[in-house]
Structure 1
Amino acid sequence: MANFAKRFFKDIQSRDRKNVTMPRRYLEKDFLPHIGSKPVRNITAEDMRGVIWRNKEQGFDAAAG
């Protein structure tokens, strides 16, 4: 996941999104600590829901949506 994320940010930044601060913050704070060690092909919908619900439980409804 971590290697994929690096390539993803490099790609979106070069294409159309010059400021990746917020998406990178979500990735580094929320996703990588919980699922960053998994290969992308092994990440499940349940893994993603877990990250999203943790944000929601912490009061970050906008980030969870």
Structure 2
Amino acid sequence: MALSHRRILFTVFQILLFTLIIFVASPESGVACRPLFLHYQWSWDYGLLMQSLPNAPAPPSTGDPTHP
């Protein structure tokens, strides 16, 4: 059984389309990844936000009071 070029190209197109939909079009619905910034100003604002966050260690955990 021979596969036609049209069927192979269609399958490759479907795989690429599904990958695009999953990883780029809807990052808030299941795939936790870094957002793709299409505008320079957005990436600049995000960089300033990351610089303004404190760079200190987390406070120590006190543990669960119900389980000594």
Q: TM-score, normalised by structure 1?
A: 0.29
- Structure (1 or 2) with the larger CA radius of gyration: 2
Quick one: higher RCO (CA 8 Å, sep 6+), 1 or 2?
Answer: 1
Higher helix share: 1
Q: TM-score, normalised by structure 2?
A: 0.28
